[in-house]
Structure 1
Amino acid sequence: MTTRRLTVAQALVEFLSRQYTERDGHRQRLIGACWGIFGHGNVAGIGQALLESGPGRMPYLQGRNEQAMVHAAVGYARQSGRLSTHAVTTSIGPGATNLVTGAALATINRLPVLLLPGDVFATRPADPVLQQLEVPYAGDVSVNDCLRPVSKYFDRVVRPESLIPAALQAMRVLTDPVDTGAVTLALPQDVQAEAFDWPEEFFAERVWHIRRPAPDADALAEAARLVRAAARPLIVAGGGIHHSEAEDALKALADATGIPVAATQAGKGSLRHDHPADVGGIGHTGTAVADDLARTADLVIGVGTRWTDFTTASNTLFAEPGVRFLNLSIAAFDAHKMAGLSVVADARAGLEALAAALEGHRVDPAYVREYTAGKERWEEAVDRAYAAPDESARPTQTQVLGALDAVVGDEDVVINAAGSMPGDLHKLWRTRSPRQYHVEYGYSCMGYEIPGAIGVRLAAPDRPVWALVGDGTYLMMPTEIVTAVQEGININVVLVQNHGYASIGGLSELTGGERFGTAYRFRVWGSPQAEGPGEGAYTGDPLPVDLAANAASLGMDVLRARTVGELREALATARASDRPTCVYVETETADTLSGAPGPQAWWDVPVAEAATRPAAVKAREEYERQAAGRRRHL
């Protein structure tokens, strides 16, 4: 047997550089690059191995924050259709634990990312070592074990030869369309640097085929029977549509049958916004037409969705007494939900098979006229939210979206994750292409947008990329601006300053919390302004924070827009620029509405059952009224 003598880290880098995925005849590298911040847990291991391999074998990307590096890798993976991703390496201790939030985001959104945290010594030459967690009841536990519950696969490589099965299992999970997510290979720092005689076969090119399982014939026949029998069917398109590249198959089914299509946050863009059957977002942040259809649907066809509480309005949305569910999903776990008929299949393969089984079937023309009229009414609501009658006025948040809508083309990608903007985008954004709408709402993680935009731009270098960031999110994680500047990655950041947590402020008000602790303002003592939330509350003047200056200090070009007119000019300038550019705009404060229509469906956020403040008492009454509509679909 031919062998090569390499360290464990060198062998791992060599192995990763030779892994590929293939679907529908298209082949690409599985691990496109490796992000890394180096410390004593990986500097002489993975760091040395990346240096020795060179950028031709494994490109290296320098990050500023470990969590942000995972976000960038996830953005890359999502834009790549889960067919390619990045690896992320860190030192032991805080570098490793900083991965946990990013790993949770990847796993919840079912997006592949490979995590390579350093670990304490396997041989224990000194105990404890710097940054080692001592656990009295277990000698083999380190801080990396925090990654176990947020990883789809976890292994600790305590011997060189154990890398071989661990690496192969890691690739299996990364390329599995059902079980993918964060994969963690914890690498003790001494093992990383240890040499071993590796079989040459370990470094052979491997191509991991991404399967497209077809639906079971009996399940498909029953699905077709249910659809033909339904008077008011509704399709709910989830993120699985995009993962499977099933957009054309969905369009063909909608064209043939006339069944309306609503979308989850992850599924938005499955149809173009102007397709006759597209009725927009569904659920708590959905459109009026989609939610009205959901309330009266007798058959709900979920495709690639995991049925979160936002989609189902906490199980209050699908109100028709005899409503049935048909779930088409590659994951049996999701296909079983809502007591639906399970059709376990790849989304594209399943939709194509269902369309064939429904040949000649079409919904009643009166149903089409009904949802077409509802769609037209909602488009008028979008126009009103986007409209800015006074070009010299400070814009509302929805007017910011309207100005951006006027600038972008089909190829642009719009990224968001947290705050009030995901709701506004889900209701209002007119998606033009399948991968234009990139809202991370599985974890809704503050700080995702800027590093996520970097990852998207790396995966799609010819597409303009917009990170929509509120001031609260920006303060969480602006660090990767430095990376964008360093690498010349010309992302555009739209930084919206509204002086607080606007989304949680509104939610607090609705649930009797009176916006407590949600505004970025000075405390007020001994003043009439202290009324309401109470003495010492954050009800004073806005904080004198200049986030635009901060972005400029990190190397971005910054355009300040004070009015709607200036905003339009700034967005156009940013899109034409070849430099990382920030458009800074101050909107109405967190104490005012964004300008979007209110929620069209409920969301269950429990309210205090016993309270003395009138706002909480009133909110509890409304909570009990709404909660009475909850049901279990059995």
Structure 2
Amino acid sequence: MIKSRMTVGQALVKFLDNQYVSFDNQVSKFVDGIFTIFGHGIVCGLGQALDENPGSLKVYQGRNEQGMCHAAAGFAKQNNRRKIIACASSIGPGAANMVTAVADATVNHIPLLVFTGDAFATRQPDPVLQQLEQPYDLSVTTSDAFRPITRYWDRVSRPEQLMSAMIGAMRVLTDASQTGGVCISLPQDVQGEVFDFPAEFFQKRVHRIARPAPEADEIKEGIELICAKKKPVVICGGGVRYSEAGEALRVMCRKFNLPILETQAGKSAVPSSEPLNVGGVGVTGNLAANALAEQADLVIGVGTRYSDFTTGSKELFRNPSVSVLSVNISRFHAYKLDARQIVGDAKASIELLTKGLEEKGYQSGYQNEIAKAREAWKMEMDNLRNIGYGADFSPLIAAKGEHAIEDYVRTTGGTIIQTAAIASIREHIEENAIIVGASGSLPGDLQRMWTTDEKDTYLMEYGYSCMGYEIAAALGAKLARPGQPVYSMVGDGAFLMLHSELVTSLQERQKITILLFDNCGFGCINNLQMGNGMGSLATEFRYRNPQTGAQDGELIPIDYAMVGRGYGLKTYTAKNMQELETALEDAKKQETSVLIDIKALPKTMTDSYKSWWHVGIAGQSQNPAVEQAYRRRMEHLDSARMY
């Protein structure tokens, strides 16, 4: 047996550099590089190996461990999970900082490989700097925090263990039904240990991303169920995107006249201009999709995990005779809502369903309902777009709340309505632009309002709705698609939470454009609390009032454009629609990263359309508004599915 003598760190780098994937017989390199913030727990082990011979792996410098992991997740998602950037941290706080991003990747089924530096396997210097000590179990370290949030976890306590650990990691990362966060813990002394590794460990490995076909009986039963129904709706989930099944889904729906309803993860798999595509469904869905959903007698979910936002907390599908048919590569997700299951690849399953339904001569019972639903939503879109150009805000103030809006205009001078801004942005930026977002009210407005015919250009993280994802993931998307413009849609709250990878975008000379909606607060949650009878508590950015002792003083104005200029970005401030549109046009001409500080009026996002979101509300209160909200909650629960 031929052997190669090297350190564990060196062997790891050489292994990563030889991993490939095959999808539809197209072979491509799987690991692009490694994001890292070096600390003592990894710099002299894995870091030495990357310094000496990184092979073709790129080394990216992160600014915040959570941020660099979000960037890696955005990169993987924009590559439809067929290429990754690994992430490596030191022990202690460096490792702990990655926990949120790894959980995010696991929830969203995005392959994210992280290496955590760890305490000495020999325990000789325990406690080493930054080491977590647990008296009840000396083997527990910060790296163990990744166990409940990963799809695969391992600790390499001896050099021999690296081989099985990494082969196991690749198995999970390239499995469409299992992929998510993967953590390999690397004790810092083991990284530098020398071992005779068998040469075959470093051979080129091609991991096949399979298209498993469903069982024939499942397809047969699915066809029988569809044929028994007149008004099915098809939910296009993220699995459609990752399976490259958008065109197959479009063909099926055209043949049988079926409306297509989009989830956040499925949006942009099918062109928005497709007459059967009625847009986003659920709590953040639009009027057209939700109107059809409530009347449907069959829900055909393709590649969706049926989150509470997609199903309206299981209350959206209101037809008493509604059934559910689930097409999913994951049996776990296919079983949700007590659905009839078709377990297999989305594209393969759709093609088999299409063939079988053609043989049966099936046609849905829709007449002109789909077109009418689209037209009604178009009229609403026109209203959302045009309201932003009126000088008279009195109707808005009366409807949304005088205090918040008048305070904001007086403090910032901003008069931009959020929905009008989104409509204008769509008109002014490039047709092939990739947009990225994650938290607050923006993903809701975007799922309802955003249209695109460019495939895979809508990169919204809403499974974990993770504040801080927006800018870092935009960098990842740009690294994946350097030839396409990338825009990050971010609120002021999320910007303040995490924007460190802006500097990395400058370092890598990868232009991203930050569209920062400043409404002086956590506006989405402010709406939620006040809409359920509460006051405005700790959700607006206000000074503490010395008279009342509460945080109900004046709003805190922040010049985010100045912050961006300090980093070296080209920046703009937009206080009205004309300034916004001028900035958008000029931003396209810039070669460096851009930040547009959009002063957006609070409470000017879209409202719910025929949907309900189940949140916990106090069952007893001295506030009549809270008690009323609780009664509404119980009324909705009466009409919602229990499982």
| Matching of residue 568 in structure 1 with residue 581 in structure 2 | yes
For 1:404-423, what per-residue CA distance to the aligned partner results, in whole angstroms no more than 9, with x for missing partners? Answer: 11023332101110011011
Aligned to 1:531: none
Equivalent positions of 1:204-603 (< 5 A) are 204-359=203-358, 361-364=361-364, 367-387=366-386, 390=389, 394-526=415-547, 535-588=548-601, 590=602, 592-594=603-605, 596-603=606-613
Shift of 1:463: 0.9
* Match of residue 623 from structure 2: 613
Contact 2:543–2:556 (Cα < 8 Å) also in 1: yes
- Partners of 1:544 and 1:597 lie apart in 2 by 26
Q: By how many angstroms is 1:506 displaced?
A: 0.4
Q: Distance in 1 between matches of 2:42 and 2:349?
A: 45
Q: Distance in 1 between matches of 2:217 and 2:468?
A: 46
- Who is 1:146 aligned against? 145
Hey, what's the Cα distance between the residues in 2 that align with 1:368 and 1:13? 59
Q: Determine if the alignment matches structure 1 residue 632 to structure 2 residue 610.
A: no
Counterpart Cα distance in 2 of 1:425 and 1:363: 32
Matching residue of 2:31: 31
Distance 1:515 1:437 in 2: 32
Work out the CA distance in 2 between the residues paired with 1:216 and 1:576: 53
Q: Distance in 2 between matches of 1:239 and 1:459?
A: 18
1:5-36, Cα deviation, whole Å (9 max, x unpaired): 11100100000000000101211111111000
Q: Distance in 2 between matches of 1:273 and 1:57?
A: 39
Distance 1:218 1:320, change over 3 A: same
* Count of residues paired in the alignment: 620
8 Å CA contact 2:388–2:416 kept in 1: the answer is no
**How far apart are the structure 1 equivalents of 2:478 and 2:368?**
41
1:327 touches 1:336 (CA, 8 Å); kept in 2?
A: yes
2:612 is the counterpart of 1:623: no
What is the TM-score normalised by the length of structure 1?
Answer: 0.96
Give the letter aligned to residue 605 of structure 1: V
**CA shift for structure 1 position 388:** 5.0
Question: Counterpart in 1 of 2:179?
Answer: 180
**Which whole-Å CA distance do the structure 1 matches of 2:5 and 2:214 have between them?**
47
Secondary structure (helix, strand or coil) at the match of 2:104 reads helix
Distance 1:460 1:494, change over 3 A: same
The aligned runs of 1:87-106 (5 Å cut-off) are 87-106=86-105
Deviation at 1:167, TM superposition (A): 0.7
Residue 240 of structure 1 deviates from its aligned partner by 0.3
Map of 2:70 onto structure 1 = 71
Measured in 2, the distance between the counterparts of 1:241 and 1:515 equals: 40
Q: What letter is aligned with 2:66?
A: Q
Shift of 1:196: 1.0
RMSD: 1.4
Which deviations, in whole Å up to 9, do the C-alpha atoms of 1:236-270 show, x marking residues without a partner?
A: 11110001010110111111111111011111223
| 1:192-249: CA deviation from partner (whole Å, max 9, x where unpaired) | 0111111111110000011001121111111111111211111011110001010110
Deviation track 1:498-554 (CA, whole Å, cap 9, x = no partner) reads 00001000001112222211100112243xxxxxxxx33333221132222111111
One-letter amino acid matched to 1:74? A
What corresponds to 1:7 in structure 2? 7
TM-score by length of 2: 0.94
1:101-125 alpha-carbon deviations (Å, 9 max, x no partner): 0000000000001100100000111
Question: Could you say what secondary structure the match of 1:57 adopts?
Answer: coil
Letter in 2 for 1:454: L
Contact 1:75–1:453 (8 Å) recurs in 2: yes
SS of residue paired to 2:27:
strand
Q: Distance in 1 between matches of 2:553 and 2:272?
A: 42
Deviations 1:305-362 (A, max 9, x none): 0111111111111111221111000001111111111101100111111111111645
For the 8 Å contact 1:512–1:607, the answer to whether it is kept is no
Instruction: Provide closer, same or farther for how the CA distance between residues 456 and 389 of structure 1 changes in structure 2, counting only shifts above 3 A.
Output: closer
Query: In the alignment, which residue of structure 1 is the partner of 2:404?
Result: none
1:318 corresponds to which letter in structure 2?
Answer: F
